[in-house]
Structure 1
C-alpha cells in the first residue's frame, strides 16, 4: 500500500487537469473519447448528461458524507479496499482489470479520491479522465505522455507501507 504523507497533501489540492464549473462545459472535449470517471457525483452528472463512462470509480460518498446520488451502472462490478490517503495494490489491480476490459465499475471500500493517479497511469492515450474538485466543479484530464509523467511524479511522493 502507498500512503500520502501529511507533508505532501497540499500537492493534491490543485486540479490535476482543467477545472470546469460543471459537466456541461466540458462535454465537447470528451466526445468520441473513452471516458473514465472518479467519484459518485461526477459519474451521476455524466449519466445525467447522457454519457455512460467506460470506467467509474465510486465509494458511495461525496465529501465524506453518504451520497444519495450513487449511480446505477450496468457494467462489470469490481471491488477494492482503499483507506483514506492511500493507494492500495488492490485498487491498482482493480483499475488495471477495468482498463484492460471495459466497461467496469469499481466500488471502493474506503476512499476513491486518489484513484485518479493510477487511473491516468493505466489509461490509454486519448482517454478523458474526470473527477470532482470539491466546492469548485469537475476536473478533466486528457491522458497524454505529459499526464502520465505528472501522475508518475505525484506517485513518487507516496511512501510504501
Structure 2
C-alpha cells in the first residue's frame, strides 16, 4: 500500500488536467473516446448527460458526506478497500483488470480520491479520465505520455507501507 504523507496533501489539490465548470463543457472533447470517471457526482453527471463511462470508480460519498446520487450503472461491480490518503495494491489490481475487461464499476470501501493516479498509469493513450474538483467543477485528463510522467512524479511523494 502507498500512503500520501500529510505534508504532501496540499500538492494534490491542484487539478491534474484541465478544469471545466461542468460536464456539458467537455462533452465534445470526450466523444468517441474510452471514458473513465472517478467520483460519484462526476459519474452521475456523465450518465445524466447520456455518457456511460467504461470504468467508474465510486465510494458512495461526495466531499466526505454520503452521496444521495449513487449512479446506477450496468456492468460488473468490483469492491475494493482503499483507506483515505492511500493507494492500495487491491485498488491498483482492480483498475488494471477493469482496463482490460470493461465496463466495470469499482466500488471503494474507503476513499477513491487518489484513484486517478493508477488509472492514468493503466489506461491506454487517448482515454479520457474525469474526476471532480470539489467546489470548482470537473477535471479532464486525456491520457498521454505527459500524463503518465506527471502521475509518476506524483507517486514519488508516496511512502510504501
TM-score (norm 2): 0.99
Structure 1 residues 43-63: Cα deviation after superposition (integer angstroms, max 9, x where no partner): 000000000000000000000
Q: What corresponds to 1:50 in structure 2?
A: 50
Quick check: 1:27 aligned with 2:49? no
**Deviation for aligned residue 1:33:** 0.2
Structure 1 residues 84-129: Cα deviation after superposition (integer angstroms, max 9, x where no partner): 0000000001101100111110000000000000000000100000
Quick check: 1:130 aligned with 2:130? yes
Cα RMSD over matched residues? 0.4
Q: After TM superposition, list the pairs within 5 Å mapping 1:3-152 onto structure 2.
A: 3-152=3-152
CA distance in 1: counterparts of 2:102 and 2:155, whole angstroms = 24
CA distance in 2: counterparts of 1:71 and 1:148, whole angstroms = 28
Which ranges of 4 or more aligned residues in structure 1 deviate by more than 4 Å? none
Q: Secondary structure at the match of 1:72?
A: coil
TM-score (norm 1): 0.99
